[in-house]
Amino acid sequence: MNVLVRSLSALALLLISSLAQAFDLQQLSAQLAKPDVIHGQFVQEKHLRALPQPLISKGSFVLAKNHGLLWLLKTPLQQDYRISAKGIARRDGAGWQLLPNKSAGAEQNRLFLAVLQGDSSGLQRDFELTLKGDAQQWQLTLTPRSLLLQQVFKQINIDGGALVQTIELLETQGDSTVLRMQNSTAEQPLSDAEQHDFAG
């Protein structure tokens, strides 16, 4: 009996010490929220059940802590988007135009911004979060809580290290999107043009 008690005590201590060292959501949020500005490229693969090959789009992005996200699509067509607390805007000949905020795309972009900025409290409202790994290599799994999101997403998987590297959106209908963030750097401040875009 004593051996069993001792074994259980040792196991409990081991669990407590490993929990104390575990990488948690708060640490992940702090890590992702650290950089003021992140520049990088992205490759997005959209896998549709109806098509044998994925649809691939490429471009660059600028994530600025106090401003939002510039999403600059280069191929297959050129299109610039700005995602911020005000909503989603698209650039046309007349400048930035706010898009209607009711679409599923708008919800997806709000979610995307929360992910990149490490806003785990924002994500926890809508998702069950499961985190594995450590600060150098982690995986976050988001499982939708609300019925509305459950109708769109089955699961969202996010992998990263110092910054987010891959986001995989698994949709309920069987389609999926994989977004790879490449050559991300937190070394460069916003350029004058980028500041103007966020202010516009």
- pLDDT one-digit tens code per residue, 96-126: 998 886 655 566 667 777 777 777 777 888 8
Question: What is the separation, in whole angstroms, between the first and last Cα of the chain?
Answer: 72
Token pair 């999403």: residue: 71
Which pLDDT value is given to residue 117?
74
pLDDT given for residue 107 in this prediction:
64
* pLDDT for residue 9: 47
- Report the top-level CATH class of 24-199: mainly beta
Tell me what pLDDT residue 33 has: 84
- pLDDT digit string, tens, across residues 30-51: 888 888 999 999 999 999 999 9
Q: Which residues of the chain, if any, have pLDDT below 50?
A: 1-3, 5, 7-21
Q: Where are the domains of the chain?
A: 24-199
Edge-first strand order for the sheet with 68-75 is 95-98, 87-92, 79-84, 68-75, 55-64, 37-47, 176-185, 164-171, 153-160, 138-144, 127-133
What Rg value do the Cα atoms of the chain yield, rounded?
A: 20
pLDDT at position 55 is 94
Residue 6 has a pLDDT of: 54
Gap between the Cα atoms of 157 and 180, Å rounded: 12
**DSSP run (H or E) holding 56:** strand 55-64
